[in-house]
A and B are shown apart, each in its own frame.
Chain A
Amino acid sequence: MAYLELNNIYKTYGQGDDATQVLSNINLSIEEGEFVAIVGFTGSGKTTLVNLINGLLEPTSGEVLFKGEPVKGTSHERGVIFQNYSLLPWLTVGQNIYMAVKEVFPKKRKQDLKEVVDDYVEMVGLTPAINKRPKELSGGMRQRVAVARALAMQPEMIIMDEPLGALDALTRGNLQDEILKIWEKDRRTALLITNDVDEGIYMADRIIPLRPGPNATLGPEFKIDIERPRDKTELNDNPNFKKTRNAIIEYLMDIGDARKAEAKAPIKLPDLAPKSFVDQFEFKL
């Protein structure tokens, strides 16, 4: 049995005539220790999918199984890295992480918890900024704090919702490497949601495109057969990389085109012609 399983998930927002179906017929299974990436256009329902898995939302129908048990609400076993960092602005870097750690290990002594916090802050290279508030940090640093917070909770599975979406290309690359390095250490199950195909290929074992919503559904999966650790510069020359990348992009483009074509479907225009008034009036001279 798979580690995480999604069976026939449907998710609808609103009720009655206002209902919009966001996700339909989502089936997904992730094995333990696997790194899976879901790639999709913005607005295709990626965040909804993530929130169903981490327990912030409940599916309208279908079931989410985590280790064979249906997901009911959030759990410390599934750590989440949010798209917009979601750090509490009134707490410092250290306090943000401490708060999370304290909830997960309520029985540990304060001193031990502080050590855990220090370790994870060091791991993401933010020790000099441990007493700063999120406002004083750059976007990349904030996302590192969010990564440290999620990992410090020592979850069994880590769910990342477009974690690097708001960062510039250089910071993005660096953080991808860091996340991978940390992941390589104990190879916990990871789910990455992204809109960047290259990022998906670089990081994941398997890529699944999400067809754009409404009625978003998962497309066919693409296996990434590239040896780890992967090298970004060499990756560009790797024939396997090129092939997979082209296949995924082609697939996504096709969906995009299909969607455009749908939108452009000719609207039947009423058959109207200007009426001639000429004969209706008699001109008397």
Chain B
Amino acid sequence: MRQSITLGKVTKFVGLGFLTTFKDLFTGKLEKEDLKGFLRKIVVPIASVFLFIGLWHMGAKYLYNTEAEFKIQKALTDQGPEAAEAMRECIASGDLSCKPNTLPSPAQVWESYKSLLKDHQIISADKANFIEKTATLNEKRIAAGKDPIVYTGRPSFVDQILRSLKTVFAGFLLALLIAVPLGIFIGLSPTLKSAFNWFIQIFKPVSPVVWYLLVFMIVKTILIDSSDDSSFTISFISVGLCSMWATLVNTAMGVSTVDKDYINVAKVLKLGAFQKVFKVVLPSSLPLIFTGLKITLSVAWMVLIAIELLAQSPGLGSFVWEEFQNGANDSNAKIIVAMFVIGIIGFLLDRLMLTIQNMVSFNKTEAI
């Protein structure tokens, strides 16, 4: 008997169960007794979002006024009452030269978000144009055995998001490929465990910055002949090394603490060593391995920003840093936009892992 797949099951499976309540609201399926649930699941979150934006708005206004007042007072004490009056008028007119530089309001952030999108459209149009123009020339160059001309313009915000995602996935994959097999071996063999334990305990708490420097020292020398940009290689390796520990420890733990009953089954069935690992040990430790991988992915996304910033690798990290250095009038708002984008992508990555976990593991995990 096949069970029917409903929207409710799918959303619950991927950890976005609240979407179903929305659907029920619009299709009129919501029963009266569900009203409490409706209040809790829909009204409360929406209200808290508005409350958050309201508090943010008021806070931003307060900070703006404090900064403006300070500027006027400073003009008064330094240059006299006329300069103070001029400053007051200047601030009131919204002129960029004297605008107080502080926490941007929600409205400003929204404007910056729109301008970043517009900027992306302009840049991608420019890029398409460039590719079209150089197409024939590039064909000739390739035919002549030369490197084709590539677009070297400024990356847009969306390009940087994609680049960051690429870095984080490369790093995550590296962490997965190192930590899962190593964790399995460590979990299976007490000898390996005692050989590696000091290593794990010492390197686990090392900061992302130090990892970056370490990887930089090594990769720089290895790629000494290459003229390519090594910043991507360095950043993804650093991200991988930084984030793999949770998976390593969880895998080793999961593998070494398989339920004794299952081991007894393996013994009674006389499974070979290989079979025992693949048919009993690994399936039973999958929930723990996935818990580790989920932590690894969120740590990877978190340290990515710091590492991109250091490595000068284009991406959200360097976007934030450049905007901070830039100090244009909407830089602060752009930094806040980047903050929300980072947060939302982090949330989606977590749900993605949860979905994969629920697909492959016997032990269903509820979203938090």
Binding site for B on A (CB under 8 A): 54-56, 73-76, 79-80, 82, 84, 86, 88-90, 99-100, 103-104, 133, 135, 153
Contact = CB atoms under 8 A, between A and B. Distances in A.
Interface string B257-284: 0000110110111110001000110011
Contact of A84 (B261, B267, B361): B261
A103 B362 contact: no
Nearest to A159: B268
Contacts of A89: 284, 362-363
Nearest 9 CB-CB pairings of A with B:
A90-B362, A86-B261, A90-B283, A103-B269, A86-B265, A74-B268, A74-B267, A80-B268, A89-B362
A88 B280 contact: yes
Interface in B235-273: 261-262, 264-265, 267-271
Interface in B187-242: none
Nearest to A134: B362
Contacts of B286: 90
Contacts of B275: 103
A89 B264 CA distance: 14
A105 B335 CA distance: 65
Given A90-B362, A99-B279, A133-B362, A74 B265 contact: no
Given A56-B267, A89-B363, 6 more contacts: A74-B267, A80-B268, A86-B262, A90-B284, A90-B286, A133-B362
A88 B262 contact: yes
Contact of A103 (B261, B270, B284, B363): B270
Nearest to A128: B1
A82 B269 contact: no
Contacts of A73: 267, 270
B285 to A, nearest CB: 11
23 contacts: A55-B267, A73-B267, A73-B270, A74-B267, A74-B268, A74-B270, A82-B261, A82-B264, A82-B265, A84-B261, A86-B264, A86-B265, A88-B262, A88-B280, A88-B283, A89-B362, A90-B284, A90-B361, A90-B362, A99-B269, A104-B269, A135-B362, A153-B269
Contacts of B268: 54, 56, 74, 79-80
A216 B262 CA distance: 27
Nearest to A79: B268
Nearest to A80: B268
B260 to A, nearest CB: 9
A104 B275 CA distance: 14
A28 to B, nearest CB: 21
A133 B363 CA distance: 11
A15 to B, nearest CB: 18
Nearest to A153: B269
A255 B269 CA distance: 37
A104 B269 CA distance: 8
A48 B319 CA distance: 65
Contacts of B264: 56, 82, 86
A89 B275 CA distance: 17
A73 B264 CA distance: 11
Contacts of B283: 88, 90
A90 B361 CA distance: 7
Interface centre among B265, B268, B275 (most CB of A within 10 A): B268
A78 B261 CA distance: 17
Contacts of A153: 269
A135 B361 CA distance: 13
A135 B270 CA distance: 25
B261, B265, B279, B363 interface centre (most CB from chain A within 10 Å): B265
